[in-house]
Amino acid sequence: MTAQVIGRMLLMLGGTVGGLFAAGELRARHRFLAAMERAAGYMRGEIGDLGTPLPVLLERLSGDAASGFFFRLVAEGETGMREVSWRTAAETAREKYRLCEADVQALLLLGEGLGQYGLEDQLRRLLAAERELAHRVAAAEENRQRYAKILRFGGFAAGAVAALLI
């Protein structure tokens, strides 16, 4: 009898934790995209106003909230294959933060043409990427607000149903 009660409580706890974990993934996606939006604005200011070279800029950004993304670029940037490194970092971020295809495309837009074109073209591309990332941040926030409560309650409910069925 006691073992059954403990087992049911553990099932309910497991379902609740699973729901909380899923809601936390939505929050992490939103935080990452917001950090990338801020990084785009920072990059635009550094390149446009100060003329900071791209390797130095990426090194500075590797200490930001989105540090894993930029740290990977700094580490792989030595090879001269920055476009491939940027794509790899975007794919890694997709897996880590459960990004959708539009999020990944916004990240790729951010890296497109950096250090390869003239100043005005780079600034125009960075502004476009910053705007697209702002749209993605808004969409992630809407998703988070819409689904976080459902996921938390759904996890608890799934655990409760499993406990009742046993």
Host domain of residue 56: 30-148
Domain count, the chain: 1
Q: In the predicted model, what is the mean pLDDT of residues 54-79?
A: 66
Instruction: Report the C-alpha gap between 94 and 82 in whole angstroms.
Output: 18
* 160 inside domain: no
* 19 inside domain: no
- At residue 100, the 3 state secondary structure works out as coil
Instruction: Report the C-alpha gap between 93 and 131 in whole angstroms.
Output: 19
* 70 inside domain: yes
Query: To the nearest whole number, what is the mean pLDDT of the chain?
Result: 78
pLDDT band at 77 (very low <50, low <70, confident <90, very high): low
pLDDT the model gives residue 71:
63
* 76 inside domain: yes
* Amino acid making up residue 97: Y
Enter the tokens of residue 83.
Answer: 């476009």
Backbone conformation region of residue 64, classed left if phi is above 0, alpha if psi is from -120 to 50, else beta: beta
pLDDT the model gives residue 135:
94
Instruction: Report the C-alpha gap between 79 and 31 in whole angstroms.
Output: 30
* 90 inside domain: yes
Residue range 97-136, pLDDT digits in tens: 888 999 999 988 888 877 777 888 888 988 999 999 999 9
- Residue 41 in this model has a pLDDT that exceeds 70: yes
